[in-house]
Each structure stands twice: as structure tokens, then as C-alpha cells.
Structure 1
Amino acid sequence: MTGVLVGVPVHTTVAAALRQAGSEQRQDPVDTRVLLAMLMRLDLSGSWDRFRLRCGDFDTIAAAPMSDAPSTSGYRWEDVPVTDTCAVALDTAARLAHRHRMWPLPVGLVAVALLADPASGAARALGPERAAAIDILQADVLGVTLGGLTATLPAVLAEAQRASLRPTAPPPHPTAGPPRRRGFRFTRVQLLLIAVALLGLVLFVEDRTVGDLAAPRPGDIRVPSVTITFPQITIPPPPSPFTLGIPLFLAGDCVRDTQGVIDETTERAVIEEVPCADPRAQATVLGTSIVSGSACHSRYPATDVVLVLTSGITGPTGEQFLCLDLPR
């Protein structure tokens, strides 16, 4: 079995719709049409009125005879089986959420992704109203119109379909949700300083206690006190990525060449990050390598262009390689 949306935070309504659809489907995997109908049934935060008037209500879509193509991969979300087409649609929604920084994965974005593939059961159930339905879902259910979605949706769907054929390929969202917080750990130097400070405190308290309780008497032997002075040790804070000049390009970021156009012949460029919805975006970052440019193609098979960076953390050759995917 292959997991879907593993580690990706989803809206509670999306999770409820998947579980309810899985319960009602019994042995059959949840397909795109069934999930779309269940989202309509359970979502109370979005406005589905225009969608119902244009495309039909819950009962109409749930009873439509269209379904996804037969599945062979055994995809599951948690313990709910889903069709291959539905798994690709959910991955498409996660990729869109990563591009537009929409977490947890919202109902409207999932609904749009279920209609991304014209061959899906959900899309065929709407027939010629599919394109209008995508626009309505953005405006009324998602609550925002994503710029350039008409062009980017087929490209993101193609990425998800290619990824479904390469189960070992790295996902576009290394961590869909907020970064996990690691517990605080003391370094050896910090532990040593704490131990020294505690020892000094014990000696100080003991010396003061003895001095207060035992007043000098005739015939007492006075032992001269010994003062222990510990040198001050200043631990400099760790350098930030900005002081090291590390380019903060993450997998899934969109970039452009400020002095030209990025294509298959580009080797060096002055690049900057731009929103993925920005028409100036020229490529998507798949990852980086400090080994060699060929490592990009072995680690990220979708790599179209490898750019050479000469600042920040570099490898043995003094260079860093940025692995990019050009829009299809």
C-alpha cells in the first residue's frame, strides 16, 4: 500500500469527507466523484449555492454513473483506500497548497484538484461545466482566485502524475505542515559551565555557613580561605544563514533570472525568489547539491536546468548547484 498526503496537514472537513466516503464505499476505494459529493455534503464554511445551481446538488453528483479509471496501485489516505486518480488529485491539491502557502489543505483547493484531470470521474460528472465549476470553487469555496491557475493547474497535475509513476522520487513538499519543534539540548560546553557555576555556589554557601556558625575562639586554628576565580567564557551565538550568505531556496520555491530568461542553456544567472503565481516566475526549485551538477539529475529526475551558485555553503569545487524544473 502507498500512502497519500503523508505528513500533510489537512482541513478537518477534508479529513471528515475522506473518512465518511471510505465508510460508505465499504470495499471500493474512494474516487474523485464520491469525494467531491462528500465535500459538498459536509462543508458548511464555503458557499456552494452557485456550484449547485450550475453543476447539480449532492444527490445529482453522487448518483452520476461516472467513476475513475480502475486502480492498480493500492493508494490509501490513513486507512481509507482511494483510487489512483483520486490519489493524484490529492497530491495535486497538496502541491498547489505548497505553491500558494495554504495550510492546512483547504476544502476549496481539494475540490479544484478533483476536477483538474478532465478524465476523472468528478470532471466527467460535471461535463461541459467543469471549467466554470473550477472558477466558482475558487471564488465561493476557496475564497480567493488563484492567479494563472488555468495555466498552472495542468502543469501541477502533470507533476503529480509523474510522481505517482516514481514512488521513490522526492516529494515537492518536504514538510507540508509547520516545522517540528525539537526539544532543547544543552551542549557539552554549556553543561560544563553549569557544573562549574553550581560548584562555585556550593563552595560559597558552605563558606558563609561555616563563617556564621563557628565564631573564632582562643586556641582555634584558622585556615586561610582560598578564593577560586573561574575565568569567564563567552560562547558566541551560532552564525545565522544570512551571515554565511546561504541562499534560502527551498524545494517548491519559484525563481527568476533578474538579467534574462532561464532555459536549458542557462548555466549561471542572478536569481531571486518570486511567488509561484507571479507571471515573472521562470522555474521551480527541486533541490540543491554541493557535489556536482550531475547529482541534480540523479536525485531529482525532473531536473531541466542546473544553475551554478558561487556564494553560501559550497562543495569541494567551491560551487553549489541549484536543480530547477522548467514549466511544461
Structure 2
Amino acid sequence: MIRDLSGIPLHSAVEAALRSASVKRMREPVDTFTLLTELMRADNSGEWSRIWLHTGGIDTIEKKLIADPVTSGGWYWENIALTDRCALALDISWRLAHRYDMLPIPLAMVVLGLVADSSTAAARALHAGLTRTELLSLVQSDVLGTTLSYLERTLGEVLREAQSTTQPPRPRNPAGEEQRGGHTGFWLKSPLDQAPPLSSRRLKVIGAGLIVLLIALIAVDRSERGRPPPAPSPTRVTVAPPTFTLEPAPTFRYTIQMSTRPR
């Protein structure tokens, strides 16, 4: 069965390193060792000098004859074949990036995924001159540029989660078919699908709170419907007083004529 990991949200530098590693490996699946050296070449912001003091530079590392354990394969990223250990490293880096809220997955997070399992070729190449604790510390401070809280404990939890997921991941669509390349396409299981118990309890508490709020709103609505309508408020009518206009009284003139007759 062919399993496609193309849906993983990778940083552009990681995508470039995967394509470059595919060219180097030619027809062989990309392993953790080749991906590690190509990530070193693609990294324009990280500082690898302190790591190289212990392990040697890229050219020195590439001369080492180290390979991933022989596995069944069948993993792909954009039609690029991957070894099982390389696919597992991408799964681990995805889970780490989700836990620390660092998406798309940065280059240094993929490096942490490559060295999480001590059996990978990448881990053996870098552990040659460094202890695990020293290596994780240098990758954080020099390559990632920040310190992740409780990394070693979280890395162990994520590694166990990824290793226990042996069944095929959920399909991208209900039919489970991916048109590109003519093969079945799959996502890795999202970290949300395997949330820790604390997150599940939080979701249950939030859900219960929403149900209580909904019940309260329904009760208020029903009580409002059963309440009689309010009495109409009295209407005040204001009558303006009549206005009288007094006209001047008419004036009459009388003329009295008196005549005197002789008697």
C-alpha cells in the first residue's frame, strides 16, 4: 500500500531539502541521513558551527556510511519515496510543531524529528560527538533559535505516539483516493486525533458549559413567552385653550338736526 504524506504543512526550506535529497538518492527512497545533510545545506538562518565542531562539517558527515534500518517502505511525499524512519521523523516533527504551535513545520523541528529515534541514520551521524541532551540543546539554541519547554519529555511522548500508529492513516476524502500519481493518498493522523486526556477533559467541560448555556437560554425564552403582555401606557391628550381675538367695537355717528319754527 502506498501512503502519501504530501498534506504535512512543511516550511519551504524543508520542501526544497526533500526534493534535493530525492535527486541525490536517485531511485532509492530518501532516508534520514540524506535529508539531514540537505537540511543543513538549505538552512540559511540557523547556526550549525557548534554542532559541526563535534561532528565535522557537511562533507565530513556525508562520508560516513550510515543508513536507516531496512524497512518495508511505501511512504511518499509528493511522489518522492521515503524510508519508514524518514516518514516517522516527519510524523514526529508534525506532532511537535502542533504541540508548540509552530506551523508550518520549521526546518529545525524536522531535525528534532530526525534525531528523536536513536536508531535513525541521522541520529547516529550526529550522536557521534554529542550526547542526546547536548545535541537537543544545540539544535534548539543554534538552529531553531529558541528553547522549547520540557522538550525531552515531550519528544519521548510524541515518539511513542507516532510509533504506536501502525495502521494506515485516515484518507483525504471519503473514497480514500488521491488523483495525483494514480495511487491511494493518505494523511498522517493529526495530533488532534490523539489528543492527551487533559485536552479531552477540557473539551468535555466546554461542551457541558455550552449545553448549560443553551438550556438557560431556552428557559428564558419560554418564560418570556408565558408572560402576559404589558398593559398599554395611558395616553396624555393636551387640548390647547381657545384663542379669542377682540375686535374694536364699531363706532356710530348720529346727526341731529333741529329746526325752529315761528309760532
Q: What's 2:198 paired with?
A: 283
Q: Displacement of 1:103 after TM fit?
A: 1.3
Q: What's 1:154 paired with?
A: 156
> Is residue 46–residue 142 contact of structure 1 (8 Å, CA) maintained in 2?
yes
Give unpaired runs (5+ residues) of structure 1. Answer: 175-250, 255-281, 290-306, 315-328
Secondary structure of the equivalent of 1:103?
coil
Q: Displacement of 1:172 after TM fit?
A: 2.6
Q: What's 1:97 paired with?
A: 97
Aligned-residue CA RMSD (Å): 2.6
Aligned partner of 1:171 among 183, 189, 195: 189
> Is residue 31–residue 67 contact of structure 2 (8 Å, CA) maintained in 1?
yes
* Distance (whole Å) between structure 2 residues aligned to residue 143 and residue 60 of structure 1: 25
Tell me: CA distance 1:87–1:130, structure 2 relative to 1, closer, same or farther (3 Å).
farther
Tell me: CA distance 1:168–1:126, structure 2 relative to 1, closer, same or farther (3 Å).
closer
Read off the aligned partner of 2:141 and give its amino acid letter.
Answer: A
Read off the aligned partner of 1:172 and give its amino acid letter.
Answer: S
Secondary structure of the equivalent of 1:87?
helix
Read off the aligned partner of 2:116 and give its amino acid letter.
Answer: A
Would you tell me which structure has more strand in proportion to its own residues?
A: 1
Q: Displacement of 1:173 after TM fit?
A: 4.1
Tell me: CA distance 1:287–1:60, structure 2 relative to 1, closer, same or farther (3 Å).
farther
> Is residue 2–residue 73 contact of structure 1 (8 Å, CA) maintained in 2?
no
Read off the aligned partner of 1:54 and give its amino acid letter.
Answer: H
Secondary structure of the equivalent of 1:71?
coil
Read off the aligned partner of 1:171 and give its amino acid letter.
Answer: K
Give unpaired runs (5+ residues) of structure 2. Answer: 171-187, 213-263
1:58 equivalent to 2:76? Answer no
Secondary structure of the equivalent of 1:146?
coil
Read off the aligned partner of 1:127 and give its amino acid letter.
Answer: H
Q: What's 2:250 paired with?
A: none
Q: Displacement of 1:311 after TM fit?
A: 3.2
* Distance (whole Å) between structure 2 residues aligned to residue 8 and residue 133 of structure 1: 25
What is the correspondence of 1:103-118 to structure 2 with a 5 Å cutoff?
103-118=103-118
> Is residue 127–residue 135 contact of structure 2 (8 Å, CA) maintained in 1?
no
Would you tell me which structure has more helix in proportion to its own residues?
A: 2
TM-score, normalised with respect to structure 1: 0.54
* Distance (whole Å) between structure 2 residues aligned to residue 109 and residue 22 of structure 1: 20
> Is residue 115–residue 130 contact of structure 1 (8 Å, CA) maintained in 2?
no
* Distance (whole Å) between structure 2 residues aligned to residue 286 and residue 23 of structure 1: 47
* Distance (whole Å) between structure 1 residues aligned to residue 125 and residue 194 of structure 2: 32
TM-score, normalised with respect to structure 2: 0.66
> Is residue 73–residue 82 contact of structure 2 (8 Å, CA) maintained in 1?
no
Q: What's 1:77 paired with?
A: 77
Read off the aligned partner of 1:156 and give its amino acid letter.
Answer: V
Identical pairs, percent: 38
* Distance (whole Å) between structure 2 residues aligned to residue 55 and residue 285 of structure 1: 43
* Higher Rg of the two aligned structures: 2
